[in-house]
Structure 1
Amino acid sequence: MIQALKILFVEDLPEDLELAKRKIKSCGIIFESFLAENEDDYLKGLYEFKPDIIISDYMLPEFDGMRALELALTYNSNMPFIILTGSMNEEIAVEAMKAGATDYILKEHISRLPFAIREAIDSKKAMVEKKIAMDALKSMSDIIQQSPFSVISTSLEGIITSWNKGAERIFGYTSEEALGKNISLLYHEDDLDILNNDIIEPLLSKEYNQIQTRLVRKGGEVFIGSLSLWVVKDRAGKTVEMVGYTYDITKEVEAEEALETSEKMYRLLAENTQDCIWSMDMDLVFTYSNHSVYDILGFLPEEWIGSNLKDHCDEENYMKMLESIRLGLQKAPNSEGICFQVEVLNKEGHAVPVEIIGKIIFDKNGAPVSIQGNSRDITKRVETENALKESEERLELALRVSEHGFWVWDLDEDDFYFNPQSYMMLGYENNEVPMSIDTWSKLMHPDDRKNVMPEIIDSVNERRPFNFEMRMAANSGDWIWVLAKGNTFNLKSGKHWAIGTLVDITESKKAEEQMLLAKIAAEEANRCKNELLANMNHELRTPLNSIIGFSDVLLDGSLGMINEEQEKYLRLMNNDGHRLLSLINHVLDLSQIESDGITLHFSNFDPVLVAENVMEATETLARKKNIKTCISIGKNIGTITADADKFREILYNIIENALKFTPENGNIIVVMNRRNDEIEVSVQDTGIGIAEKDRERIFDAFVQVDGSNTRQYGGAGLGLVLVREYLKMHNGCIRVESKTGKGSKFIFRMPVYPIKKEMSDFESPVRSSICSPDSQHRYQPPKP
């Protein structure tokens, strides 16, 4: 967008003003105007309208063009000023031009006005650019002259063409003594070959050279100098001069400081540092800026120079900068500089956080003459600081919400910090007790202090995490259980901290105590149960054995013949005795399993023979219900190593269970196969089946699918429980496939030789020995 030219008209005739505006518009000049007919309006136009050019009549009733010219030049010596008058003799025109007018035009030649305006604006621009260039050149020249380093330039033949005060201080020659001499004057006579071969020739070929060499002062003193050299080219790109700066690096510490300072100055001035280097006068108008002002704020140096500090910030930041300048003036003239952070507006009007380092420059009389410094874009640093602050606030809020205590232990200073939650946990006000390890150690229960504190100290010294439970004295006098967690960290700053949390676990500890008491009570009840069952083993089996034994004697007729009715009752007595004895045996076996009182007796046997034996034992029951049973044996079954009695009981209970729940005229099929290192046996019946919801319950003690008082099928519900437990003891498993009314299929697997219990994958007390229908073999038994 083209910026409109601001024209201040000094005119009392409206028709002449309108004619001038039309002529200017007809030439395509876009402008804004302000009319002044007297001196007050004119001053208002100068300081508020801020014109780019003034077009004034020579004579007005209350004002005249020469007075307007005088005020304009006082306002700005470079202000373009054109006198536009109806009549003017040559003498008056010469006087006006001598007084500083840019041009004069007779109204009868008003068509020349647009061209005069353009010439005046271009002339002003050229003068401003020239002044900027001259000021920059003078500023650079002043910097070079005041530099503590030797800055010397030579012709291509090595003749010294410039010599600053730093060179005079380092080498001892005045400029009058050095100018016009050959640069070899400054080198040791033994290093002249180095001067040509290692310094000048590489400089001319690479256009830059940096080297350390011996140099000689005026008095003959030899010292080590660090040289930084570069070439200067004309507009045609031809090398015309060699320039370099030198400093004494004889003293190592002074050399390092000098090198750092020189490199900073070189990069700031010659390599366009990222920091914006600037200077301003005491009216806060910028007089110099390097190109980095464009990188930071988007202004070209020529746009920045001449602007006022107030134009680049809001009121708050402007007042902050004025305050910093005021403090610098108070410390005059020995101020070491000022450093502060503000927000500056970029060219688009957005705020940019910058860090400003500046210093007020005073003249010989102690009067401030300028302010010099540099500005650095700290957007990323501010964003990082804000993110860190936000992170700290989130952490504080999280700790506050969690109600956890938080502590930090500075291991280097042995200082402690506890957050308010740590004090509240024990009933104290914030900072009510001293922040020290000794104080908090005294709050521990004596037993815990004796055991836990050494462990905490060792963990911190060994830089490993720790996790301890301890009792601490609350303000109320009660003991509070606290979980202390922490770890040790080596920070990037080199510090060593231990950081952790405190959690009140009093309620969970009380719950643990209740659970422990309940466990003790349960173990005591279980012990009493085992003692009762052990007594039952003797007290119940002894009379049952007598009942079964004597009924057998009476039935075999050895004591005489009995009638049919007597035989019927004796057989009922005998059968019920056997059933009761079986139930007692099952209960006792289950009790022994729960108390780990059963020991397996391993032997090598043929499982097929055991299966056939079981089939024979259950044949009577099968015939009573007219149930057909058969067994299918796979190839290469071989022998297995297990407890043969337990294997027989497993198979017997499953087949007996199948016979019990299979109606008359049903079928039962037993299939035995060997699969890798396991034997798999399935018992399939055509019985009543098992609902899906009951397939796991049937392996629980004293559970019947039909639990009513009028159930059709007998039994105490212990047979399948023992099957599962015996299989677990062998690291085996069992599963069921069934549909209600369609029969059931029980499949169990067990290793063909023993496997240690800790190698088993089945650990659940309820489901550990129940096989999944699609489970795969997961054992890794040792080789026999």
Structure 2
Amino acid sequence: MNDTHYKILIVEDMPTDVELTKREVQKVLSNCTYRVVQTEEDFLKELTDFAPDIVLSDYSMPSFDGLTAVRLAKIHSPVTPVIIVTGSVDEETAVECMKSGAANYVIKEQIIRLGTAIIRALEDRKHNIERLIAQNALIESEARYKSLFNLSPVAIILQNADGIVIDVNETFTTIMGYSREEMVGNSIAKITPPEKIGQINTDLERIKRGGILKQETAGVRNDGEIVNVELIESNIILPNGADGIMTIIADITARKKYEQELIVAKETAEEMNRLKTSFLANMCHELRTPMTGIIGYSDLLSEDEFAPTVVEYAQVIHKSAKRLMDTLNLILDLSKIEADKLEISQFECDASEIVTESFNIFLSEAKRKNLTFELIKPPHRVPAIIDERVFSHICINLINNAVKFTTSGGVKVELGEVSTDQGKNLTLKVQDTGIGIAKHNQMLIFEEFRQVSEGIGRNFEGTGLGLTVTKKFVEKLKGEILLESEPGVGTTFTVIIPIELYSTKKENI
């Protein structure tokens, strides 16, 4: 054999026979270590301490015998082969030795056979060790599989290629209420609603062709309760090596219930929002009618023919009514947008004229606050296909916002045109030297009823709707609004609106 080192345990009480045995071993194994024992006690000790690769034992000794050595080796070292080497043995004794587990027996008169017997015994030992390793690996693998199978948080069904259940895990029994014994040998029709049973064979054929089936469906528990489940089915190789099908079942009843509750909650919220919008619109319409009268008569009372005190009071009434009317208009605009009833009329107009008119509205207020007030625009007409009314609201809201929040310095309004691959864009930039907006508040100001300064004691008037409505107006025109701001330095709003995107028609967006 090769140069592998072997440990040989010899059980013999005759020194001459020990040497005879060693000589025969050397003929087939060149690299060996030997231990020699004569008693059962020493034999057991060396089986553990020396861990021999093979035992060569005399059959009969004064205090020990080969048959006992065979039986002890089978108990304490099952893979270690024992060859009986004896002076003479009858057929009955030889049979008993082989039945007890001896690898072979050799008569000393035919000691030349010992080498062949050793080689065969060592080869058998090697094969036995390999088989035991494979068996242990299989046992460990099956144990791991069983552990994972039963501890899985989802239900698992194993079926053979014909769709017959061969095993279910513990989670399945918990979810579906069927015991393993009730499922094994049956089809999954047992847990399938009657109206879906006809689909089982179709699904089975699809899976056999290599498909993976994933679906949300219903399952029937043992008590008749219908549960919502998610199924994933695919081909697998079963533990016994045969083709099979694995079905993974997740109970999604709670998730489905939650989803349904979310849908109901969303629909309820949408209905409440619709009612709120409708109420606000109706309220604004109701208030606007008398407010128009108040503004009109306050204008009449502001004429010089009345006493100075009356004129002063009338101007206060007019200013307050105008402020309230502006608020009502903002709320009405917002309600129209939220109700998706804002009508967009797209016709060609002069954007420069719209910006100029919006700018002029605030000339007197800017002068009253001693602000520099500058308008920069192209020297020519700026044709644009947009909604004139909506664009005017955008201009007025942004300029009003800039003038209101600026106490010193000035406001600059700039109109421009930018060409892109998609067409022409209109740009409106409103820059002020007002209070500015911190980075963490810059998205907040576009929310409804929000201002950087909030509460009854805030420094500036307003509902917090102006920028909300402005942003929504810009979005209705398929544009975008950008914000750059720094506290104590000022704020710049930039609006970019496509001006060649629409045809000249009226549409409801």
Tell whether the structures are fold-level matches, with TM greater than 0.5.
yes
Provide the residue aligned with 1:596 in structure 2. Answer: 340
Provide the residue aligned with 1:406 in structure 2. Answer: 156
Q: Which sections of structure 2, spanning at least 5 residues, go unmatched?
A: 1-9, 30-52, 59-68, 85-90, 106-112, 504-509
Provide the residue aligned with 1:418 in structure 2. Answer: 168
Which piece of structure 1 moves more, 402-411 or 428-437? Answer: 428-437
Q: Residues 495, 319 of structure 1: CA spacing in aligned structure 2 closer, same or farther, 3 A cutoff?
A: closer
Provide the residue aligned with 1:681 in structure 2. Answer: 428
Query: Contact (CA 8 Å) 2:303, 2:311: kept in 1 or not?
Result: no
How many Å separate the matches in 1 of 2:73 and 2:378? Answer: 96
Provide the residue aligned with 2:366 in structure 1. Answer: 622
Q: Residues 46, 731 of structure 1: CA spacing in aligned structure 2 closer, same or farther, 3 A cutoff?
A: closer
Provide the residue aligned with 1:662 in structure 2. Answer: 406
Query: Contact (CA 8 Å) 2:165, 2:184: kept in 1 or not?
Result: no
Post-superposition offset of 1:478: 3.9
Post-superposition offset of 1:755: 8.7
How many residues end up aligned between the 2 structures?
Answer: 433
Q: Residues 493, 713 of structure 1: CA spacing in aligned structure 2 closer, same or farther, 3 A cutoff?
A: same
- Deviations, residues 650-683 of structure 1 (Å, cap 9, x unaligned): 22211111111111x4211234444542444332
Post-superposition offset of 1:585: 1.9
SS in 1 for 2:483: strand
* Amino acid paired to 1:662: T
Matching residue within 459, 479, 491 for 1:712 = 459
Post-superposition offset of 1:419: 1.2
Provide the residue aligned with 1:441 in structure 2. Answer: 189
Post-superposition offset of 1:425: 1.4
* Amino acid paired to 1:424: T
Post-superposition offset of 1:688: 1.6
- Deviations, residues 683-718 of structure 1 (Å, cap 9, x unaligned): 221112223332221111011222221222111111
Matching residue within 495, 498, 505 for 1:751 = 498
Q: Residues 128, 747 of structure 1: CA spacing in aligned structure 2 closer, same or farther, 3 A cutoff?
A: closer
In the alignment, structure 1 residue 522 sits paired with structure 2 residue 487: no
Post-superposition offset of 1:525: 1.3
SS in 1 for 2:434: coil
Query: 1:180-579 counterparts in 2 under 5 A?
Result: 316=75, 319=78, 375=124, 393-394=143-144, 396-398=146-148, 400-412=150-162, 414-437=164-187, 440-446=188-194, 449=196, 456-457=203-204, 459-460=206-207, 463-476=210-223, 478-488=225-235, 496-553=243-300, 555=302, 561-579=305-323
SS in 2 for 1:431: helix
Q: Decide which structure has the larger Cα Rg and report it.
A: 1
How much is the aligned-residue C-alpha RMSD, in angstroms?
4.8
How many Å separate the matches in 2 of 1:390 and 1:409? Answer: 23
Q: Residues 492, 572 of structure 1: CA spacing in aligned structure 2 closer, same or farther, 3 A cutoff?
A: same
* Amino acid paired to 1:574: H
TM-score, length-scaled by structure 2: 0.69
Q: Residues 572, 306 of structure 1: CA spacing in aligned structure 2 closer, same or farther, 3 A cutoff?
A: closer
How many Å separate the matches in 2 of 1:712 and 1:506? Answer: 53
- Deviations, residues 422-442 of structure 1 (Å, cap 9, x unaligned): 0111334443445522xx434
How many Å separate the matches in 2 of 1:380 and 1:616? Answer: 98
* Amino acid paired to 1:613: E
- Deviations, residues 209-262 of structure 1 (Å, cap 9, x unaligned): xxxxxxxxxxxxxxxxxxxxxxxxxxxxxxxxxxxxxxxxxxxxxxxxxxxxxx
SS in 1 for 2:181: coil
Q: Residues 388, 702 of structure 1: CA spacing in aligned structure 2 closer, same or farther, 3 A cutoff?
A: farther
TM-score, length-scaled by structure 1: 0.47
How many Å separate the matches in 2 of 1:570 and 1:452? Answer: 81
* Amino acid paired to 1:501: I
Structure with the larger helix share: 2
Provide the residue aligned with 1:209 in structure 2. Answer: none
In the alignment, structure 1 residue 583 sits paired with structure 2 residue 333: no
Post-superposition offset of 1:621: 1.8
The higher-RCO structure (CA 8 Å, 6+ apart) is 2
Provide the residue aligned with 1:735 in structure 2. Answer: 482
Q: Residues 455, 582 of structure 1: CA spacing in aligned structure 2 closer, same or farther, 3 A cutoff?
A: farther
Post-superposition offset of 1:469: 2.9
How many Å separate the matches in 1 of 2:442 and 2:348? Answer: 33
How many Å separate the matches in 2 of 1:408 and 1:450? Answer: 18
How many Å separate the matches in 2 of 1:540 and 1:399? Answer: 70
Query: Contact (CA 8 Å) 1:423, 1:431: kept in 2 or not?
Result: no
Query: Contact (CA 8 Å) 2:165, 2:183: kept in 1 or not?
Result: no
Provide the residue aligned with 1:613 in structure 2. Answer: 357
SS in 1 for 2:374: strand
Q: Residues 731, 417 of structure 1: CA spacing in aligned structure 2 closer, same or farther, 3 A cutoff?
A: farther
Q: Residues 482, 699 of structure 1: CA spacing in aligned structure 2 closer, same or farther, 3 A cutoff?
A: same
Provide the residue aligned with 1:9 in structure 2. Answer: none
Q: Residues 451, 573 of structure 1: CA spacing in aligned structure 2 closer, same or farther, 3 A cutoff?
A: farther
SS in 1 for 2:310: helix
Q: Residues 47, 543 of structure 1: CA spacing in aligned structure 2 closer, same or farther, 3 A cutoff?
A: same
SS in 1 for 2:12: helix
Post-superposition offset of 1:415: 4.0
Provide the residue aligned with 2:12 in structure 1. Answer: 47
* Amino acid paired to 2:375: I
